[in-house]
Structures are given as structure tokens and as C-alpha cells.
Structure 1
Amino acid sequence: MRKFVLAASAAAAFAATPALAQDGPPVDPVFTGPRVGAIVGYDHVGAGSDVSNNNGRDDQKIDGLLYGGDVGYDLAVGRLLVGAEGEVTASTASSSRNPYTSTTFGYGRVRQLRDLYVGGRVGILASPTTMIYAKGGYTNSQLRVLAGSTNFSTNNRFELDGYRVGAGVEHAVGPHSYAKVEYRYSNYGRADVLYGSGATSGRFDVDTDRHQVVASYGFRF
């Protein structure tokens, strides 16, 4: 149920933004136009609410450092800021050497690989130099399969498709730079296996949650 609560909260944030926009300050051009930024933060990948832990160990999760970059474009629509964005990240999150089975985390022993995201956001100015925003979109992630209890990786990967919602605060550091802090929740509901031979399995249902708290610094042009 937690993923539905998080999604509903994000939807409520989107719905509330137009109402807040009626009282917000005018949009400053410092928040509009193309942008590019670097991202770093905490990454937690875990079994979703439909997966039960029956093995007595808290091994239904992997944690690590998230890093990457994003690009976007924002424009003013009345007192709202509306934008589109794309992101590419990687992560150090990885299973430990404990003997993992497919029932504990859903994938066996894995290492988090790249993640792709594309979506949009809607913001309102809290002050002339600070914006609060909500976001949402599509995310595609890959997990590398680890071989047994060794450090070796196989050429097999899981590819996961899902959605992402989140919210954040962005501050204009100067006329052409900004810093932001953001929380994002992702849920992956469909996956397939990419084998080292080049073959791909059929699609199947999964339930994987992802929580991230990130900071970003970027520039506008």
C-alpha cells in the first residue's frame, strides 16, 4: 500500500500547485530556459509491498551512492514554472556476499546499473530566488546479475520499467546557476532479462521500490 500512498501524495502536490500559483510571486527569468546539472545522493532499492520476507534476514534491499546528470527546459506559464527533463544516473548499490535466492529480493544477487528517466515538473516560487516543485515521469533501470558469492558479474541483466514521482526545492545561486534538493520515489512493475547471448526473455511482472534523496548543482543558458 505504501507505493499508492506515495503516488497519491505526489498527485496531491501536483493538484495543489495551481492553487498556490495564484498567490505566488511573479516568475523570474532566472528559473526559465535550458539547464544542465550534476546529481549525487542516496539510493535505496528494495522489494515492493507485494513481496514477503520469509528468510529472517533484512536482505530485500540494496543501498548505495547515486550519481549522474540531468538536462531540462523550464518556461513560465502565468505564475507557474513548467518544465521537461531527462536524467541518466548510475549507483554503487549492490547485494552483499550472502547467498541470495530469487525469493529474497526478487532477482538474486545484483548490482544496480544505469537508470534512465524522462518526465516533467511543475513549480511555484516560494520567494524570488526559491522554487518548490513536484515531478513525475517514466523510468527504466538495469540490474547486473552477480555470480554466486564472488565479486564476478555475469553478462545477464534485468531491465525494469516503471514510474517516478517526487518533489523538491530549487534555489537560484546566481543568474545562471542553481542548487536543488529532491526526494524521488520509483516503482517498477514490469521487467525482462537481457542474456549475455543477446537473447531477451518475455516480459513479466515485478514489484520493486526505489527511494532516493539527491542534491544537484547546475547551470542555465
Structure 2
Amino acid sequence: MKRVPALVALIVVGASVPAVAADLGARPYGRAPAYAAPIYNWTGIYVGGHAGGAFIGDNSFNGLVLSNYDARFLGGVQAGADFQFAGSFVAGIEGQYSWLGSNQIGTIFPAGFVYSNNQRGLGSITGRIGYSWGPALFYAKGGYAYSDSRETLTFGGAPVTFTLDRNHRNGYTVGAGVEYLFTPNWSAKAEYQYYDFGRSRFIAPAALVPFGTFSNDEHTLKAGLNYRFNWASPVAARY
């Protein structure tokens, strides 16, 4: 008879276990959040440097070809600001200056005059518009160009006063390139840039007037590195 209360107690405890388990609820199983590609931020200002080569375009006086160095080393600095909008579009402005290696172009006229143009550097202030694809930005640019040049004319080794109908210091530039963010603050770029400083002719001395117009333009290839001061969180993730 003493076993009956113990048996009843055991039955009561066994019956209560499912109820307690029900109160605890089912074991939760979480699902890992879906991965989303990072959003790269191009908004901010930047400074950097570049190096590359410059190649003179068509330079001739009505068929009288100017002697020149076909390719010259260039190196310089740039600074600018970008603004990212409408998701992946980027607009910006950039100032750039490149020092040129030896670039003494010139010609000897049949009349005995010797013209030379020592171009020491190229500068530009451009706007640019681009589209970002992940960490890469594809862009086009264009604007004002400046040539740091020194033109001279001599006769028998002595300097001669001369006049051109326009100078070769002010012109325009266009280009395109790609820039890549390899860290939130560092980016590398490669670009092509064309500079055109127009055509001009001698209007004095009179002996050079019949030779017509000549042009001064440049093709450049550059690779550069920028440090970016971002105005917003450089990388965000969307889930």
C-alpha cells in the first residue's frame, strides 16, 4: 500500500512535463541576413598625384613640319571634389597641373628665321561626370586648359620681335578615364586627356606670313593616386 502514493506522484510529474515544455515554446531557428554588396561613397574632396606621357599632335606650318620629341614624361598633382547623386552618378570638378620633360619644338624657315616653343607644363580646370559600378567609377571630363610655354624667334642667333594672331597658352581639354576605390579613402585612376591650344599664324615679321597657320595640341596618358576626405560614411551595407 505504501507504493501507491509514490506511484501516483510519479504519474503526476510525468503528466506535467509536456505542459511545461509547451509553455517554453518551440526552439527558435534564426536565418542569416542576406548579403548585400557595399555601397561605395564618392562624395568628398581629394588630393593626389599622377605620372605618364605626353605626345604632340599635328604641328606644322602649312606642310613645314616642326621638329619635336614624340613622347615626353610628365608628372604632376591634382585636387578636386565629387558629389554622388541619384544612386550611382557622380559629378565633380578638378584642378590639375603636369610638369613636362624636355619639349623644345621648333623649325627653321627657308628665310633663315628659327622658331622654338619650350612647353614646360600643362594645366587644366575641368568638370567631370561619371557612373560608379561597385568600387569603379567611369567618367568623362572637359574644360579649360593652360600651356606653360615660352616661344622665341631668332635670326642669325639674335632674338627677333614677332607677333602671332593668338597665343598658345589658353585652350580647352577633354578626356575620359576610370578610377577605382581600393580602400575607403584611397583610389587609383587611369585616364586619357587631350589638350588643344588652337591654330595661329605669324602676322610679323612679314617674311613668315605666307607660311600660314600652325597648331599646338597634346595627347596624354596618366596614371594617378588620390587620397579622399569623405563627407559621409565611406561604406554602408544594405540588408
Q: Does TM, normalized by the shorter one, top 0.5? A: yes
Normalised by the length of structure 2, the TM-score is 0.60
Where does the alignment leave 5 or more consecutive residues of structure 2 unmatched?
1-36, 155-161, 202-212, 230-239
| 1:166-193 C-alpha deviation (Å, 9 max, x unpaired) | 000101121100000000111112779x
Say whether residues 1:68 and 2:80 are aligned partners.
no
Aligned to 2:171: 162
Distance in 1, Cα, partners of 2:38 & 2:90: 10
Q: Percent identity?
A: 28
Aligned to 1:182: 191
Aligned to 1:94: 103
Task: Report how far residue 77 of structure 1 moved.
Answer: 1.8
Of residues 124, 134, 140, the one that matches 2:146 is 140
Aligned to 2:63: 53
Contact 1:112 1:144 (8 Å CA) reproduced: yes
More divergent stretch after superposition (130-139 vs 181-190): 181-190
Contact 2:68 2:103 (8 Å CA) reproduced: no
Instruction: Report the secondary structure of 1:47's partner residue.
Output: coil
| 1:126-171 C-alpha deviation (Å, 9 max, x unpaired) | 3x111110000100102234787xxxxxxx9x65211100000101
Number of residues of Structure 1 aligned to a counterpart in Structure 2:
170
Normalised by the length of structure 1, the TM-score is 0.65
Aligned to 2:21: none
Where does the alignment leave 5 or more consecutive residues of structure 1 unmatched?
1-24, 149-155, 193-204
Structure 1 residues 1-221: aligned runs within 5 Å:
28-29=40-41, 31-47=42-58, 52-54=62-64, 59=67, 62-78=70-86, 79-95=88-104, 100-101=107-108, 108-126=115-133, 128-145=134-151, 159-189=168-198, 207-221=215-229
Contact 1:62 1:95 (8 Å CA) reproduced: no
